């Protein structure tokens, strides 16, 4: 199938179906946040917007990448999130690459955010939706991040429905510069398990769908059973 693999700067039109990839770490973190009880993630375009949203909505929490900072409740680290209890909470997320990529395609009729931990459900949902050609947004390094490209290509292969060996794709991600930086502790807001947590396949049974709700871009988990007939539907444009 004629999929496109593009960086954020190459996004010149509104895709019909967009899958925004950020393995390290935004959309691994988002999946972990949902697994810890977060009900929805509101994507913010700036840190000040994230803080303003938190302040104006009782009970909302804010997460950003980089070092911990005043006003923020969490950082962009799966290792640091996995023991938190976020039951029923709304989380506002702002990161350098992942959330920027998702907001860049927010007007597309179908937008999924993905990483290896939700790769299988993401591919199954795209099959169920009969999605056709997908625009994969490779968020890292202007579209050249090897971990994101490997994950995008892995999901594209799994969309075909056949068995796909994960090892070569994971190897590319494990040997990426982002993985090396994470493993070496060069990223702020970091846990030593982060790189490995980002390199797990199908940890969670849901895909993550971004939709416009009121004036926000909101990410929610959508359960995708192995034999799903459930459709999420696309917005008409
Ligand atoms: O937190 C991350 O891993 C990165 C930020 S940086 O590359 O470490 O500065 O953000 P993300 O949007 O998750 O790629
Ligand atoms: Mg990244």
Judging by DSSP bridges, how do beta strands 135-138 and 17-21 pair with one another? parallel
Do the beta carbons of residue 190 and residue 181 sit within 8 Å?
no
What local confidence, expressed as pLDDT, does residue 225 receive?
A: 81
Is there an atom of ligand 1 within 6 Å of 64 CB? no
How far does the centroid of ligand 1 lie from the alpha carbon of residue 190, in Å? 10
What local confidence, expressed as pLDDT, does residue 72 receive?
A: 98
Ligand number nearest CA of 187 is 1
What local confidence, expressed as pLDDT, does residue 130 receive?
A: 86
In this structure, the dihedral spanned by the alpha carbons of residues 224, 230, 234 and 235, taken in order and rounded to 10 degrees, is: -110
Q: How far apart are CA 40 and CA 54, in angstroms?
A: 13
How far does the centroid of ligand 1 lie from the alpha carbon of residue 47, in Å? 14
Give residues with Cβ within 8 angstroms of 49, minimum separation 6: 94
What local confidence, expressed as pLDDT, does residue 224 receive?
A: 94
DSSP helix/strand/coil, 210? strand
Q: How far apart are CA 195 and CA 202, in angstroms?
A: 15
Is there an atom of ligand 1 within 6 Å of 96 CB? yes
Q: The sheet that has 40-43: what strands, in order across it?
A: 4-6, 135-138, 17-21, 110-114, 206-213, 216-223, 40-43, 90-94, 61-64, 74-75
Q: How far apart are CA 116 and CA 119, in angstroms?
A: 5
Is there an atom of ligand 1 within 6 Å of 45 CB? no
Average pLDDT score over the chain: 95
What local confidence, expressed as pLDDT, does residue 236 receive?
A: 52
Predicted ipTM beyond 0.90: yes
pLDDT band of 192, cuts 50, 70, 90: very high
* CB atoms near residue 14 (< 10 Å): 14
Judging by DSSP bridges, how do beta strands 206-213 and 110-114 pair with one another? antiparallel
The pTM score is 0.95
**Is a pLDDT exceeding 80 seen at residue 98?**
yes
Nearest Cα residue to atom 14 of ligand 1: 97
In this structure, the dihedral spanned by the alpha carbons of residues 134, 140, 141 and 145, taken in order and rounded to 10 degrees, is: -80
* CB atoms near residue 71 (< 10 Å): 13
Is there an atom of ligand 1 within 6 Å of 176 CB? no
* Atom from ligand 1 closest to the CA of residue 75: 1
How far does the centroid of ligand 1 lie from the alpha carbon of residue 160, in Å? 30
What local confidence, expressed as pLDDT, does residue 233 receive?
A: 62
Is there an atom of ligand 1 within 6 Å of 76 CB? yes
Is there an atom of ligand 1 within 6 Å of 95 CB? yes
Helix (H) or strand (E) holding 180: helix 177-183
pLDDT band of 237, cuts 50, 70, 90: very low
Q: Which domains does the chain have, with CATH numbers?
A: 4-210 (3.90.1560.10)
Tallying the residues shown for the chain, one arrives at 237
Nearest Cα residue to atom 7 of ligand 1: 96
**Is a pLDDT exceeding 50 seen at residue 161?**
yes
Ligand number nearest CA of 23 is 2
């Amino acid at each position: 199938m004629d999929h496109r693999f593009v960086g954020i700067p190459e996004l010149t039109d509104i895709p019909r179906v967009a899958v925004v990839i950020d393995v390290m770490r935004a959309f691994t973190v988002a999946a972990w946040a949902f697994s810890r009880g977060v009900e929805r993630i509101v994507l913010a375009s700036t840190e000040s917007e994230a803080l303003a949203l938190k302040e104006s909505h009782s009970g909302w929490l804010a997460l950003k990448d980089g070092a911990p900072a005043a006003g923020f409740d969490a950082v962009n680290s799966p290792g640091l999130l996995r023991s938190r209890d976020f039951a029923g909470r709304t989380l506002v997320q702002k990161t350098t690459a992942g959330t920027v990529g998702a907001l860049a395609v927010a007007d597309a009729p179908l937008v999924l955010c993905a990483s290896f931990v939700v790769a299988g459900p993401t591919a199954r949902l795209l099959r169920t939706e009969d999605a056709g050609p997908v625009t994969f947004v490779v968020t890292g390094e202007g579209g050249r991040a090897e971990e994101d490209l490997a994950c995008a290509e892995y999901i594209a292969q799994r969309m075909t429905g056949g068995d796909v060996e994960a090892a070569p794709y994971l190897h590319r991600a494990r040997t990426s510069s982002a993985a090396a930086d994470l493993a070496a502790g060069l990223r702020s807001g970091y846990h030593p398990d982060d790189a490995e947590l980002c390199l797990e396949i199908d940890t969670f049974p849901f895909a993550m769908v971004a939709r416009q709700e009121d004036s926000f871009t909101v990410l929610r988990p959508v359960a995708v059973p192995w034999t799903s007939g459930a459709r999420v539907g696309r917005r008409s444009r």
